[in-house]
Structure 1
């Protein structure tokens, strides 16, 4: 597993690197044979340390977890405990995922768009009224059941996920609502012969 440990304006010493490497190897090795890569990022805001862990397993599976604490080791331990809880909760589903039907992937592009400030001059950052694109990434839209999409949403701690519904072939979105519940958007298909 390729492991990247970094700090945002924090010096990550050898002792912390060793702690992270050993703990992450033990945690991931317990639930999955060969993850592709992992990234651990430390940052500090006032008196709190923040840790972000991302482990990529391939096949579209990514586990994200965050933790914070007054000590840097404590913030990492909170984040790794959350990652372990997610992996433990979905261990059976992770194993069954690889024995299921073949996956269908569609290429797609995702964009990061600059927000438009109210006091911003239109000619400065936006061309012809269109927002400024900061980044463009290639991604894939998978064909999944709704329960698999919710599983991926929970496992990756993402705010939203687009997928092609295996039941009807339509593009659907699942997302995390502010109240903690999961929302599901499934567009209505127009009736035949009706102009839309």
Structure 2
């Protein structure tokens, strides 16, 4: 397990770093290796905020907690991550596992937009990110979207191998965009 700890607006502390590592080591019992953990510890005036992102085989989980004490924030975010992972593990037991080994490489680009008043010649790509997508069912995609706290998720449907989009609607329900064969 690889843990990266970043301190923002505070002095790096070996005691805090080892405490964070000790708290985050407990996630090993829920997910398989390899696990990459990024912990961001931030102090803003009197607020002590701990943010954690865990990336493992097929899943990414994010959580953040804040309090008046960094150790309390680390305890709270560790407990929150454990609850999310146990819920994920229970849900995954109920689903038939997707075909292993099949995944797609996807590239995401962010385009710089010009002002509305001035006509733009051509958009400029300012950021590109590549990631692999494992095939999953609609239920798994919704669960992954919830774990990531996102409003939409692009994924490969395991039964058809088509690229689909699941999104959160304003009424709280979910929508699915699936390609239609012509």
Is this a same-fold pair by TM over 0.5? Answer: yes
2:24 is matched with 24
Return the offset for 1:63. 1.6
Contact 1:162 1:173 in 2 (8 A): yes
Within-5 A mapping of 1:108-119: 108-117=106-115
**Unmatched 5+ residue regions in structure 1?**
none
2:156 is matched with 164
- Tell me which structure has the larger Cα radius of gyration: 1
Instruction: Say whether 1:186 aligns with 2:182.
Output: no
Q: 1:175 to 1:37 in 2, by over 3 A?
A: same
Instruction: Say whether 1:73 aligns with 2:64.
Output: no
2:84 is matched with 86
1:15 is matched with 15
* Cα distance in 2 between the residues matched to 1:94 and 1:140: 20
* Cα distance in 2 between the residues matched to 1:11 and 1:178: 42
RMSD: 2.8
* Cα distance in 2 between the residues matched to 1:87 and 1:78: 14
| TM-score for both structures, normalised by structure 1 | 0.77
Return the offset for 1:83. 0.6
2:52 is matched with 53
Contact 1:170 1:186 in 2 (8 A): no
Q: 1:133 to 1:35 in 2, by over 3 A?
A: same
**Unmatched 5+ residue regions in structure 2?**
none
